[in-house]
């Protein structure tokens, strides 16, 4: 069974997601308010880990491409390395672009979700780093398959989907989001075209959220005037 997936994000009041572009907190409000409230709310869900897109995971991938010391046989099936009881940090990286150099991101055990076309050398490098991996079909875009493996092989029950907008959009289109947990920071971006929390890449006639409706579950005003909105994602009663 696949894990429950909660999309947990923070945005400006204009729905943008690049934190470094937002106006600063009002006088007297802690500069760390975004990070602190985001982590406080994340801990409420008691999740088994988090998922991000390849671009967002780049901030944690500290290795460089290298030739592995050995090339063991039988590399091309799900590899569960020693998790040591840690939460999982899942990177959706279809082409195997990320080089980790370690087995964790912020202390959580890395699981790479890959396309089947990645090389044996890359898989051997991940094993040397102590990173787990699994395959999401030939092009690495079969998110349902990836989530099923995380549930069945890694025993993951609840995951926080933490961006960026493009991977959130792909999960939305695949109808894989069960809840949305959104913090609204009292700041503004203001520029046209900056990413929002869902950025599905598709044609003008596509509606990636078609067939879904949001049910309000909770609202909370947090430190510094950050507002938390919590929704369940349901099948729509009427077609859209």
Residues at the interface with ligand NAP (CB under 6 A): 9-11, 17-19, 52-56, 92, 94-95, 97, 141, 162-167, 170, 195, 199
Identify which of 232, 226, 216, 131 has the alpha carbon closest to the alpha carbon of residue 185: 226
- Between 18 and 81, whose beta carbon lies closer to ligand NAP? 18
Taking the complex as a whole, the smallest distance from the CB of residue 156 to ligand NAP amounts, in Å, to 18
- Between 34 and 156, whose beta carbon lies closer to ligand NAP? 34
Please give, one letter per residue, the 3-state secondary structure of 144-197. Answer: HHHHHHHHHCCCCCEEEECCCHHHHHHHHHCCCCCEEEEEECCCCCCCCCCCEC
Phi, psi of 50 (to 5 degrees): -140, 160
The residue whose Cβ lies closest to ligand NAP is 164
Taking the complex as a whole, the smallest distance from the CB of residue 69 to ligand NAP amounts, in Å, to 26
- Between 37 and 104, whose beta carbon lies closer to ligand NAP? 37
Residue 33 parent element (H or E) = helix 33-44
Taking the complex as a whole, the smallest distance from the CB of residue 171 to ligand NAP amounts, in Å, to 8
Any idea what the Cα angle at residue 61 is, between residues 53 and 173, rounded to 5°?
5
Taking the complex as a whole, the smallest distance from the CB of residue 164 to ligand NAP amounts, in Å, to 2
* Residue-level length of the chain: 240
- Between 115 and 151, whose beta carbon lies closer to ligand NAP? 115
């Amino acid at each position: 069974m696949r894990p429950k997936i909660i999309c947990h994000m923070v945005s400006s009041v204009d729905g943008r997601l690049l934190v470094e572009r937002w106006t600063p907190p009002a006088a007297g409000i802690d500069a760390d308010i975004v990070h602190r409230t985001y982590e406080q709310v994340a801990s409420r869900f008691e999740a088994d880990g988090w998922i991000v897109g390849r671009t967002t995971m780049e901030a944690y991938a500290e290795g460089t491409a290298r030739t592995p010391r050995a090339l063991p046989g039988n590399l091309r099936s799900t590899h569960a390395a020693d998790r040591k009881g840690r939460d999982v940090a899942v990177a959706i990286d279809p082409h195997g672009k990320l080089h980790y150099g370690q087995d964790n991101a912020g202390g959580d055990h890395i699981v790479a979700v890959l396309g089947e076309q990645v090389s044996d050398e890359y898989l051997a490098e991940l094993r040397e780093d102590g990173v787990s991996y699994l395959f999401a079909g030939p092009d690495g875009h079969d998110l349902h398959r990836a989530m099923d493996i995380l549930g069945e092989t890694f025993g993951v029950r609840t995951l926080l989907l933490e961006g960026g907008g493009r991977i959130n959009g792909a999960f939305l289109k695949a109808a894989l989001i069960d809840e949305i947990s959104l913090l609204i920071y009292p700041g503004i971006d203001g520029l046209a075209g900056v990413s929002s929390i869902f950025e599905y890449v598709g044609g003008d006639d596509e509606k990636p959220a078609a067939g879904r409706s949001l049910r309000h579950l909770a609202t909370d005003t947090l430190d510094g005037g950050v507002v938390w909105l919590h929704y369940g994602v349901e099948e729509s009663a009427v077609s859209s």
